[in-house]
Amino acid sequence: MDILSPTELKARSVARGWPDLERRVIRGQAQGQVLWQPRILAWRADKLYYGEPLPAPYDRLSYADMFRYLDCSTRLYEFNECFPMVEDPRVRVQVETQGTRTLRVIKTPVGEQTEILDQRPTCPMAIQEKFPVTTPEELRVAIWRAEHAHFRFDQARYDELLAQLGDLGLPTMYMPRVNIQDLYINTMGTQAAIYALQDWGDAAFRPYFRALDDLHDQLIDVLNSRPEFEIINFGDNLHASTLSPRWFEEYVLPAYNRRCERLHQAGKFVHAHWDGDVRPLLRYARQTGLDGIEAITPQPQGDVTLEEVKEALGDTLFWLDGIPAVYFDTAYPEEVLIECTQKLLQLFAPRIILGISDEMSAQGEIERVRIVGRLVDEYNAVQRRRAGASVV
């Protein structure tokens, strides 16, 4: 395929009308059509990090132009940059770097937190050797910081991102992780959080969870005042091996219900990112208040079948993604990818935004993205013909 210039690629993307199609899909107004939004960030980022050359012509395309070249939409989580969290001005951060390790000391009027990050050669992201909360005293500092922070909207960054990416889909953002998921991933680390919940007791964490709820409510106020943001994600990365059904019911489900009720008042389409093993938690899907769930990964990569996901989501919730990432690797023939795509369309359309569950690996074959795109185009053409025939 001959590569177009960046201007020509963008013009073709604009003509495709991805934002309008995405809006009609989530509102149930697309006449049965679906949207293809593959995840290729890890494929690109890992190759670049390890110094592996990208295949032509991707070696001379920007990340956004990769989607334009592949002729598909993408989820625009870059717009999260429009909602920075602002700490209380009394918070001071002292940073000291020694070799690959970075020590951060966070000083507040009520005490200090420390965290240690290590930049290792096997990962582009720094590894947290010490999380910000390891003691009840540091937890009290975390509570104070949450109580005294706020979110704001950055109009200049929004305008910049819209000009750069607006042809590829609707502006989208993901909210901070809820209570227990925040402990696991941001604040304490999974093992330490599980032990602390047992050893310190639930009462020690309730003030922190309330402070997070209040802070996130303030973010929802900002989001609900921005009609240009129609799609909100809860970036929680749920994994049933670390989150029991009991704890899901106790902590996550009430937070989801509360958030969804408020966001739905402003007409937002709301979904959550569940990218681990999810079979024990899927039975709660229709109790959450969500409009859909993103990144559920089916067998052979995850722990659920397509039929189990269909039973859980029913005919009301959307599935965002669905194709196991391993099907983009050459270990699987293209016929397996095609069969899976066709089955997903058969079972879930029109309540599916097709994507890769969760990210295509660096071993993936990028041109397979185009195979799925052609299948979706063919499927949508049939839906348009049927809609036209029904009108006549």
Q: How far is CA 383 from the centre of its chain?
A: 28
pLDDT band at 3 (very low <50, low <70, confident <90, very high): confident
3-state secondary structure 192-256: HHHHHHHHCCHHHHHHHHHHHHHHHHHHHHHHHCCCCCCEEEECCCCCCCCCCHHHHHHHHHHHH
Residues in the chain: 392
For 144-209, the DSSP string reads: HHHHH-EE---HHHHHHHHHHHGGGS-BEEEEPPPHHHHIIIIIS-HHHHHHHHHHT-HHHHHHHH
> Quick one: residue 241, left, alpha or beta (phi over 0 = left, psi -120 to 50 = alpha)?
alpha
Task: Tokens 């420390």: give the residue.
Answer: 114
pLDDT band at 392 (very low <50, low <70, confident <90, very high): very low
Q: How far is CA 253 from the centre of its chain?
A: 18
pLDDT at 264: 98
Question: One-letter amino acid identity for 341?
Answer: T
Instruction: Judge contact between 293 and 320, C-beta under 8 A.
Output: yes
Model confidence over 103-134: pLDDT tens digits?
A: 999 999 999 999 999 999 888 889 999 999 99
Q: What is the DSSP letter of 37?
A: -
pLDDT at 122: 84
pLDDT band at 2 (very low <50, low <70, confident <90, very high): low
Rounded Cα distance between 259 and 81, Å, is: 21
Task: Tokens 């093993």: give the residue.
Answer: 277
In this predicted structure, the answer to whether residue 380 has a pLDDT above a threshold of 70 is: yes
Neighbours of 106 (CB within 10 A): 19
**Region 25-33: what's the mean pLDDT?**
97
pTM > 0.85: yes
Contacts of 241 by beta carbon, 8 Å cutoff, 6+ apart: 276, 277
Instruction: Judge contact between 1 and 57, C-beta under 8 A.
Output: no
* Token couple for 225: 């005042």
Q: Indicate the pairing of strand 92-98 with strand 101-108.
A: antiparallel
In this predicted structure, the answer to whether residue 154 has a pLDDT above a threshold of 80 is: yes
Q: Mean pLDDT in the chain?
A: 96
Burial per residue of 204-238, b for 16 or more beta-carbon CB atoms within 10 angstroms, e otherwise: ebeebbebbbebbeebbeebbebeebbbbbbbbbb
Task: Tokens 């989530």: give the residue.
Answer: 26
pLDDT at 205: 97
In this predicted structure, the answer to whether residue 45 has a pLDDT above a threshold of 80 is: yes
For 325-349, the DSSP string reads: GGGGBTTS-HHHHHHHHHHHHHHHT
